[in-house]
Amino acid sequence: MTGLLGTALPWPREAHAQNGKGASDLVLPDTHWNAAVPTGLVPQKLPLLRLSDRPIVLETPRPFFESLLTPNAAFFVRYHLDVIPNAIDLSQWRLSVRGNVSRPLEFSFSQILSEFEPLSVVAVNQCTGNSRSRFFPRVPGTQWGNGGMGNARWTGVRLMDLLDRAGLHSHTVALRFQGLDSGRGAEGTPSHSYSKSLDVRDPILQDCLIAYQMNGEPLPMLNGFPVRLIVPGRFSTCWIKHLSWIEALTEPDQSHWMKNAYRIPKNPHRSTTPEEVAAGKLSTVPASDVPMPVRSFFVQPDVSSKLVVHLPIEIKGIAFSGSGGIRQVEVSTDGGRSWRVARLDSDLGPYSFRGWRLPWTPQRPGQVELRCRATDGKGNVQATEPIWNPGGYAWNVVETQTVFVGESA
């Protein structure tokens, strides 16, 4: 597989992550032995579900989704490589735009802040592998529950405003985005850095932001300080953190991250079988080239809730889609036999979580299976059959939630 990575990329740390004057002090676990940090705690983060230490991967527990904007300190964290910048000297840091452009440019942080019009978007950042632990047969990869996602208000500047300054040449076919993290990649690949590309004709480029704020604060280090790419409605595999290089390519990106990783079945259900994969018949597309499928989730009640027969409660949840926001959420309190339409909360825009709620008075004691299913702005409804693909990607099956109703007398 060596040789897949077309252009040689620089070693990010040498180029940019200096530890000099003005650096913020942040102590991250040593990549081999984490004795420097109390167990379970990572700088700027609350205790979250720690799925890996090397690299650090944290999942957001369900109660944090009671707030429509996920708190920064509870926002999930995903890295692929274990050398993560833990201090960035903004006086040295630059965002460079290079490759097939008229004027290769390097932007300082203060230029990004002062020379471009700021704007904000509320958008869900969801890992392509969110909910992977549901897959059967099991697939390798981070075994996410439903907390490999979060919703935030991202503030920054338009990607296209920076690119217009640099002047994209014709014959550019793709834009490659690379972050500062580095380290040993997948075996047999030279993927010592994390980078992803978007097709230059992809209309989503017009909506992409280079964000320096998350929920009105500087980005937490682990969510991409000082700037990250926001690609609204798309899986976050292409939301490059610590974004430092944008490169206009004249050939399609042949790197490991585009050719091998993060590819999903081309069919609309994103589903296949182990047999089809073994037969070599599966055609795939990069997960970042397509809108995220519609999903909905229960926030309350959960399996630990104390429910009592004839005592009214409110069933609450969230929903989102990469295709035109949420049109409707339906809830079943009888295992899918009948459905009622939930009330939707206020609309924070088509890329945001949409809160929903439904009053419910349990009529009988015992075990009840709740279900929720959402329909998006384009009329897509959540899947009812299990999804399977070898990467464990793009799960969007109707959620079920078992609850227990107690006697009142």
Ligand X SMILES: Nc1nc2c(c(=O)[nH]1)N[C@H]1C(S)=C(S)[C@@H](COP(=O)(O)O)O[C@H]1N2
User: Which part of the chain contacts Mo ion (CB under 5 A), choosing from 63-71, 124-132, 340-348, 370-378?
Assistant: 124-132
Question: Please, which residue, 101 or 127, has the CB nearer to ligand X?
Answer: 127
Q: Which of 16, 78, 270, 295 binds ligand X (CB under 6 A)?
A: 78
Q: Does 223 bind ligand X (CB under 6 A)?
A: yes
Query: In terms of residues, how long is the chain?
Result: 409
CA 295 → CA 50, 102, 134, 231, distances in Å?
A: 24, 42, 14, 18
Question: Please, which residue, 80 or 316, has the CB nearer to Mo ion?
Answer: 80
Instruction: Report 37-76 residues binding ligand X (CB under 6 A).
Output: 75-76
Q: Rounded to whole angstroms, how far apart are CA atoms 13 and 192?
A: 11
Which residues, listed in sequence order, are joined to residue 315 by a DSSP beta bridge? 358
Q: b vs e for 235-256, b when ≥16 Cβ sit within 10 Å of the residue's Cβ?
A: bbbbbbbbbbbbbbbeeebebb
Question: Please, which residue, 194 or 356, has the CB nearer to Mo ion?
Answer: 194
Instruction: Report 287-306 residues binding ligand X (CB under 6 A).
Output: none
Single-letter code of the amino acid located at 182 = S
Instruction: Report 95-154 residues binding ligand X (CB under 6 A).
Output: 125, 127
Nearest distance in Å: CB 50, Mo ion: 16
Residue with the CB atom nearest Mo ion in the bound state: 127
Nearest distance in Å: CB 129, ligand X: 7
Choosing among ligand X, Mo ion, none, which partner's interface includes residue 316 (Cβ < 5 to 8 Å by kind)? none
Q: Does 320 bind ligand X (CB under 6 A)?
A: no
Question: Please, which residue, 242 or 295, has the CB nearer to ligand X?
Answer: 242
Q: Rounded to whole angstroms, how far apart are CA atoms 200 and 172?
A: 7
Q: Does 28 bind Mo ion (CB under 5 A)?
A: no
Q: How many helices (H) and strands (E) does the chain have?
A: 5, 23
Choosing among ligand X, Mo ion, none, which partner's interface includes residue 76 (Cβ < 5 to 8 Å by kind)? ligand X
Instruction: Report 71-100 residues binding Mo ion (CB under 5 A).
Output: 78
Question: Please, which residue, 179 or 362, has the CB nearer to Mo ion?
Answer: 179
The SS3 call for residue 167 is coil
Interacting residues of 358 by C-beta distance below 8 A, sequence separation 6+: 314, 315, 331, 340, 342, 343
Q: Does 230 bind ligand X (CB under 6 A)?
A: no
CA 394 → CA 174, 275, 368, distances in Å?
A: 23, 19, 27
Nearest distance in Å: CB 144, Mo ion: 9
φ, ψ of residue 177 to 5 degrees: the values are -115, 130
For the chain, how big is the Rg over CA atoms in Å? 22
Instruction: Report 126-145 residues binding Mo ion (CB under 5 A).
Output: 127
Spacing of C-alpha 360 from chain mean position: 32
Going by DSSP bridges, is the β-strand pair 174-182/284-286 parallel, antiparallel, or unpaired?
A: unpaired
Instruction: Report 236-255 residues binding ligand X (CB under 6 A).
Output: 236-237, 239-242
User: Which residues of this chain interact with Mo ion, rule CB under 5 A?
Assistant: 78, 127
User: Which residues of this chain interact with ligand X, rule CB under 6 A?
Assistant: 75-80, 125, 127, 179, 181, 194, 223-224, 236-237, 239-242
